[in-house]
Amino acid sequence: NFFSPQDNPQFQFVFNSTTNRDVRDDHASLIRTLGAASAVLLKNTNNSLPLSAPKTIGVFGNDAADFSDGLYPAGGFDNVGYDIGTLAVGAGSGSGRFTYVVSPLEAIKARAAQDGALVQYITDNTAATSAIGLETIYPPPSVCLVFLKTFVTEGYDRTSFLADWDSTALVNSVASICNNTVVITHSGGANVMPWADNPSVTAIIAAPLPGQEIGHAIVDVLYGAVDPSGQARPVEQSARR
């Protein structure tokens, strides 16, 4: 009823004597499965993935974090998306309202706790590209996870194939202090990756828009529960890259 002449987008249709019905069932588990299954491994050198209980982990990038301005920022997106917060869905008519979102950083911290690992992180891209910000990371992580995002919405044309928010500087900065840097992209379209041949970038995962279980889905991939090959398959049954 959004375009009703009554100008009442909140009109509640009544079906079987109820106006609202919870139809979620166990959809969260399916969302998590599909989110992990849709990831694609683009690079994996030195057997960087799957992770094998690393004791020191670095997490970087504004795409790793939970939302700082709420699930639906009142100020809008200004065609570039929100700054701090992971990209679980696109905007416009292809979007949807969340029940909740599990961020990558939240899921990584929970998984790392099982191994007693130290997790250090910077989710402000400006801070993560500054020498002062990176000096706070000690001891040097045995693996650094960099999360990039590319916002998309109807009615707006992307002006670059690079991931957003000064992504190239972010990857290069982290790679300069971490020789085992894994880059994860959440994107609504194609990206160029000028840092892909950097020898310190040991693995790249392209994950599209995984939905509310975005954090759990990428942890399933990073730790080898799901093979990042565009299909759900136990990693031990897949060909090593």
What pTM value is reported for the model?
0.85
pLDDT in tens, 106-145: 999 999 999 999 999 999 999 999 888 898 999 999 999 9
| Angular region, 46: left φ>0, alpha ψ -120 to 50, beta rest | left
Q: Which stretches within the chain are classed as H helix?
A: 27-37, 104-113, 125-128, 131-135, 167-177, 214-222
Is 71 exposed, middle or buried, given 0-12, 13-18 or 19+ CB atoms closer than 10 A? middle
pLDDT in tens, 25-64: 778 888 898 889 899 999 999 889 999 999 999 999 999 9
Cα 103 to Cα 24: distance, rounded to the nearest angstrom: 20
